[in-house]
Amino acid sequence: MTVPRLYDDLAYLWPMLSPPEHYEAEAEVLIDLIDRHFKRAEGDRYSVLELGAGGGHTLVHLADDYDCTAVDLSEPMLANCKRLVPQVQTIVGDMRSIRLGETFDAVFIHDAVDYMLSEDDVRRTLDTVAVHLKPDGLCVVAPTYTRETFIDGDVADDGTTTDNAELTYFSYVHDPDPTDDTFEMILLYLIRDAQTRGVEVIEDRHTCGLFSNEQWLTWMGDAGFEARQEEADAGDPRGPGGEPWSLFVGIRK
């Protein structure tokens, strides 16, 4: 698998491209799911593992109240995470195969699960989730799109300025082959240097997995979870009809 440049030499762009505040509403949804499941009282601390935690933009919203561990394939992304939330334990590893030798109250995979490209990838990842959860533990898997909410030709753009650089980016999502289980996200970065005023244009293509609600629920059930789908309003409607965010929630049997 080719590592997208965003998670490699361009990882320094991550805090500019998708800052932690963009993750706040979705983090609130996760917190609510965890707190409701455990009937959490003020001051109770639960252990939480995020697989594919990237720069910690979700975990930063949980780290004060939960004991958080972050796993990711990318060292530079975990370095971003450590800078942002030093109290989070960071571990380099692949969500399909990592075995930490400990269990957690909750395990979640947010947008990083988009990088699971086949049924085999997803099933291996769900096995990883299952072995890291305590009995009755909670798992939440939140792909950006499911087959039902996918928007072919979806476009987004944004920009940020820091002392050293100005970043403008465009993202374009499309499905070149609707008969397979993947789609492509093309990111274009325009990076303007504050000193030289020169603009560099970089194209970064990401291949992502696309599965139906039924596939997610079946595979979670097979991995040993009592699985359900939840819809949440995270302030960012997806899908052709502006559908809410779909999450897959599992209780370890």
Ligand X SMILES: C[S@@+](CC[C@H](N)C(=O)[O-])C[C@H]1O[C@@H](n2cnc3c(N)ncnc32)[C@H](O)[C@@H]1O
Where do contacts with ligand X occur on this chain (CB under 6 A)? 7, 23, 52-58, 72-74, 77, 94-96, 110-112, 115
Select 112 or 227, whichever has its Cβ closest to ligand X: 112
Amino acid at 137: G
Select 82 or 192, whichever has its Cβ closest to ligand X: 82
Select 56 or 250, whichever has its Cβ closest to ligand X: 56
Structure tokens at 112: 């990083």
Q: Which residue is nearest to ligand X (CB)?
A: 54
Select 41 or 185, whichever has its Cβ closest to ligand X: 185
Select 186 or 194, whichever has its Cβ closest to ligand X: 186
Closest separation in Å from C-beta 215 to ligand X? 18
What's 4's DSSP letter?
A: P
- Number of Cβ within a 10 Å radius of residue 75: 13
- β-bridge partners, 161: 166
The sign one gets for the Cα dihedral 232, 143, 180, 217 is negative
Closest separation in Å from C-beta 25 to ligand X? 13
Strand order in the sheet with 104-109: 89-92, 67-72, 47-51, 104-109, 133-141, 245-252, 225-232
Closest separation in Å from C-beta 136 to ligand X? 25
Closest separation in Å from C-beta 162 to ligand X? 18
* 53 closest CA partner among 25, 93, 87, 13: 93
Closest separation in Å from C-beta 198 to ligand X? 28
